[in-house]
Amino acid sequence: EGYIDPSGNRNAIFHFPFGRRVNDALSRSYAWVLSKKLGCNVTISVTDDCFMLTAPRDFKLDGIERLLSSRDIENILREAVKDSELFHHRFRHTATRSFMVLRNYKGRQMSVARQQLRSQRLLDALHELSDFPVMSETYSEILTEVMDLEHAREVLSTIEGGTRSVEYIQFSGVPSPLAHNVILIGVSDIVLMEDRSMLLRDLHRKVLARVLGDDALSEYTFDAETVAEYFDAKSPCIRTKHDILDALRLVGPMNLFKEKGENIYTRSKGDFDALHSWSTELLRDGKVRSVWIGEDVYVHSDDWPLYSSLHSRLHTPSVVDGALMDELSDGPLDISMLIKRLDLGKDDVKDIVKRLEIANLVHRSGIRGGRFQYSLSTHDPVEIDDCAREAVMRHLAYHAPLSIEDIAYEVGTSEEATEKALRSLLAKELVVSGRFVIGEQQQFMLARDYLALLSKERPVFDRETVRSYVESKLLGDIHSAREFFERFGDVGMPYDIAVRVRGFSIEEFGGMRDRGEVVLGRFVRGRLRYVLAEEAQYYLGVFRRGRLSKYESAILKAAERLGPGTYQEIAEAANIPGDVMREHFESLDRKGYFFRMFDGSDVWTSRNVYAVCTVEPEVDGAFELVLSKYVRGYGPVTAFQAASHLDIEVDAARALLRKIGSEPITVGLEQTEMFVMKDELSDIGKRRGVDTRVRVLSLYDPFLGDRWVEVTSKYGEGWIFPVIHNGQVAGMVEEWLMAGAIDIREIRLDDRSLLGPLLDELDGVMEFYRSINVDIIRVKRAFGSDVMELDAEVLNEFHDHGYRASNGMLVKGSLVTDCHERSELLDVVFSLQHWSDLDRLDDMSVALAKYGGLRSNSEALTRVDRFAPLEMLLKNGLVVRGHLVPDRVGYCTKEDASVYRAARSRELTPEEKLVLRIVKDQQPIRRDRALTISPLGTEDTTEALKSLYSSSMLYLDTTRGYVATPKTRLSRRSAWIRIIRRMFLSYGICSAEALSMMIGSEIPMRELRGILRFLEGEGTLVKGHLIRGSTTIYWATGDAHALLGEAAPSVSAVVAPEDNIVGYLRAGFRDSLPETGRYAVYSGSKLIGSFIGRIVQNKLVVDDLQSEDDCAEVMASFAKRLGVALSDRAESSLSEWEIMEFYRKSHPGMG
């Protein structure tokens, strides 16, 4: 039995009462075969009595049972299940039983996750070895225990032998009662509120409607005079020149220059000469063209490829035909011009032109001096079946009812082509057939006209017209973010706006968030949504329900006391047990008691900061406002859809629909009641072009509001972005936002020819991601394979769109594609550290300028020739002491202190402002003095001093008193650009993640990526997947990038725990460091040892040495540089100041 569901999917329902195990085997096998035949996914639903195959494409029902034979079913079933979750599950059990995956190992129990991982690895290794015992046992268990292969084969044998026969009920929109159960199983996940019995009653109602309809069609349905009056009333009337164009688009080909056949003159009360003149102007301006359908008639230029393709005739041009066509290739010519150019007689040229015109190889494209001009008929190929369906639809819109013979004659197609087009249109319920008026043959008319003639009261539309209208609303262009909210009410994610609004600016949206115009919370049925702040009260009025529990009240009070905070901070403030806290916090969140605070980015990787929602729910008019937005954004909608959206009963929803002024309409042959706003009624029936654009939408997009289950059942869970084409889900992209790149982890398309348009659409999507400073897209898998294993044709499509191979991926964007070993990156970093005698920095001022400050003397000792102790520089007023970047206390110049202040600029608290004013009045001022004169008290003053000092607003001078850091003209962004540029010049290479860790996440990742992008733009940095086998993006200075593969640092070094390079390595190369607090010993960039060290008198005392053989030599060289001896025993330790005193004595002339 064929069934067309409301989504337009084709369903084949096999009424095979052989039991679930047999039907499971048969359904999977048939689905596999049909999927291969159609080239698309086929889903299944199974019961004891029947099973259903669902496909998004047309297929014939007749003979479908012969797609599968008893001889092939076992091999096909093995193919169908081998990649299924069922196979993976059964394989894990079989592998465990055969001890290939162990539950216990060496007395330790293996976790389930580890068992699953090992099972998957084993399956990957054995995938092609179907005869391997474990694989064979798995197949046997599935085919004989889970399914019943033997009896499934028997069923097919009896069909093949003729013992059983198969009968067919052709496709329709109303399923038989025997099919209801399997349909309920197939759609149960889609129904959010209605129970199964309600849906079943609805299916029964459709069956009754169909039965009564068939009974009515057994006689002549309509009076011929009534039908004639109806079509006369809807026929376009021509009053202006533009009306001619509109009439051609609606009716199809017409005569413009003769009052015969289908012509414009019978549709107008205007003057013949005026109509003739307008037609001449339209032809001269290229707005209309001729096509030959038994005579020369005219069509709108936009429709000309359709009719030219449909009515083209097979014709082999002769030599003179070719000569005339060559002349027309230069542009339009009239008969007289062709006579001169071809040197032929007038009659000969006319005969040639007529011959080519009949074949639709040339057409009339203009008129000059009263003479027609001819052009070659060239256009992109159009599918003939599509042309036929469109031509039949247009003709029936104003000439119905008609028989097949009449349609074929009037449209100008063969009866076979006409019948094929009608079959397709009948299957889609765009056309109905029957005996509508007196006549001997079966007649056809558009479903919308049939319904309109049946209905005397409310407006009637066919399902395709309504679908096209809703699609135009859901996918139409929008001009601003605010208009998006006004149309749809709520927004799932900024991406959804970006794919609709041309020139969308994330800064504009961020401004709306920052100003509080848009808020984010669980406002719609517990789902996280953005809404306009002015409408939040109404959404809360509709969806916030239920009283607060005692735990919820306690959490809410704790959050109010705390102010904005993360979940962990709120949990600490509430002091409620963890499992109870999580349950009740999520309940509060679903009820809309929390906002998500704006952190300047609103991207997927942002952490959640919660604030108590202070908006009071407004119940008065709330349901009406929310429902009005829903109907305007998504309508026409059924009462059931409205009830589901508001989470109320259907009867209550129907009453609200009447209250807001929506109008009921009848849709489809099932005469479904739907509702639309009254002022939209006139727009529904307007003609719309087909939206052929390929789109990549998020699952939160309005268009996919009721298609979650369809998408997830096809493609599974994850960051799935469905691909939409011609209003249908045509594939998916698994898309992840990573630091610096968009990861495309899988591309799947029902039709591979859509790959090119998809890649074009992804280019447009990247405009949005570039606004959040992500400009690389990388594809890892497509069509079930790693991209490097794709066939040449697919790879060429990627290459044609600018993708390049890098690190096993196809990448596009501003990046370098070379890859290196990890050790080669470390070689470059270590070569830039000035540890070599030939590369040391001249003096302390150079070191301070290069690094923006130093934490300790040991940093300088290993890098600077003319060393001077930092304490001495502080005493002499050459440096100050404060917080550097990365955030450690150290020494820097006043100028750099000002840069750090600018980078950390923020709004000060009243207490901080007061203490800063005291410091400025008394500076330098010691801490005890500040505590004495501050009116805030010891605790608040201490806290203010601490925060000002850590924010670089204050530093310590030579007296160890606080001094206000001078302001600089640098903006916050410019200060961070200077800091990050200097860090790259110090280390050469770094990832965004490591850089963020080094600076303690003092700026959001989005802002950090923006600075990296700026440094790329100025030519300081390049980026790429520099480490072979890694997906991490690294940025490098141009010089550092040039050194990759060339740098081989020969110098060995001992690095103290407080050296800045330790922070760099900890962030990006942790395994190149010893345990925290230990000195590291390197040979080149290789870690060869570590120890706990300290200087005692004139010795470097070494404890707990862990080293390789050549470590002692490196340590001895290091001690020599310090001017001390190595020792493994400690007596008494000295301060760093005493160490420097000792160093000056042992290095005369230094410092």
In a domain, 923, yes or no: no
C-alpha–C-alpha distance, residues 962 and 110, integer Å = 59
**640 and 761 share one domain:** no
> Are 11 and 77 within one domain?
yes
| 206 found inside a domain | no
Q: What is the DSSP string of 494-527?
A: HHHHHTTBTT--HHHHHHHHHTTSEEEEEEETTE
**What pTM was estimated for this model as a whole?**
0.63
Q: Which two tokens stand for residue 225?
A: 């005079």
For the chain, give percent helix, strand, coil, nearest 5.
50, 20, 35
Same domain, 386 and 282: yes
Q: Are residues 1010 and 978 in the same domain?
A: yes
- Predicted confidence at residue 126, as pLDDT, reads 58
Q: What pLDDT is stored for residue 599 in this prediction?
A: 64
Both structure tokens of 827: 């070689």
- Does residue 1029 sit in the same domain as residue 900? yes
CA-nearest of 136, 36, 46 to 91 is 136
Within this chain, do residues 874 and 780 fall inside the same structural domain, yes or no?
no
Least Cα distance to 1066 among 1055, 1076, 1056, 1079 occurs for 1076
CA–CA dist 698, 496 (Å, integer)? 7
The strand pair at 804-806 and 1099-1107 is best described as unpaired
- Residue 106 token pair: 């060496």
pLDDT at residue number 310: 86
Q: Are 75 and 69 in contact (CB under 8 A)?
A: no
| 328 domain-assigned | no
One domain, residues 297 and 392: yes
Q: Is residue 680 part of a domain?
A: yes
C-alpha distance from residue 648 to each of 191, 194, 545, 692, 734 (Å): 14, 10, 12, 37, 35
Residue 1136 has a pLDDT of 46
Give φ, ψ of 138 to 5 degrees: -65, -45
What is the three-class DSSP state of 280?
Answer: helix
Q: CA angle 323-324-328, nearest 5°? A: 120
858 shares a domain with 1004: yes
Dist CA 1105 CA 649 (whole Å): 76
d(CA 98, CA 301): 71
Q: Are residues 597 and 676 in the same domain?
A: yes
Summarised one tens digit per residue, pLDDT across range 510-543 is 888 888 899 999 988 888 899 999 999 999 998 8
At residue 986, the pLDDT reads 92
Question: 966 phi and psi, to 5 degrees?
Answer: -60, 145
Phi–psi pair at 243, nearest 5 degrees: -60, -30
Instruction: Report how far apart the first and last C-alpha atoms of the chain are (Å, whole number).
Output: 96
Whether residue 676 is found in the same domain as residue 700 = no
Which of 175, 192, 209 finishes a domain? 192
Please count the structural domains in the chain.
5
For residue 499, is it within any domain? yes
Domain range enclosing 861: 825-906+951-1047
CA 765, distance to chain mean position in Å, is 8
Indicate the residue among 999, 1028, 1047 that finishes a domain: 1047
Q: How is residue 284 written in tokens? A: 């001269």
- Below-70 pLDDT ranges, the chain: 89-90, 93, 95, 98-131, 186-220, 438-440, 456-457, 599-607, 1050, 1095-1097, 1109, 1122-1124, 1128-1151
383/848 Cα distance (integer angstroms): 72
Residue 603 in any domain: the answer is yes
CB atoms within 10 A of CB 313: 11
Which of 454, 478, 495 is at the close of a domain? 454
Cα–Cα distance between 185 and 728 in angstroms, integer? 22
pLDDT in tens, 452-488: 887 766 788 888 888 889 988 888 888 888 999 999 9
Residue 720 lies in a domain: yes
- CB burial of residue 1058 (10 Å; 0-12, 13-18, 19+): middle
C-alpha distances in Å from residue 910, one per residue of 913, 940, 943, 944, 967: 5, 11, 12, 10, 19
Check which CATH number belongs to the domain holding 894 and give it.
Answer: 1.10.10.10
Q: What is the largest CA-CA distance in the chain?
A: 123
Long-range contacts, 417-421 (Cβ 8 Å, 24+):
417/384, 417/388, 418/388, 418/392, 420/385, 420/388, 421/385, 421/388, 421/389, 421/391, 421/392
Task: Looking at the structure, tell me whether residues 48 and 139 fall in a common domain.
Answer: yes
Does residue 747 form part of some domain? Answer: yes
Residues 715 and 800 in one domain: yes
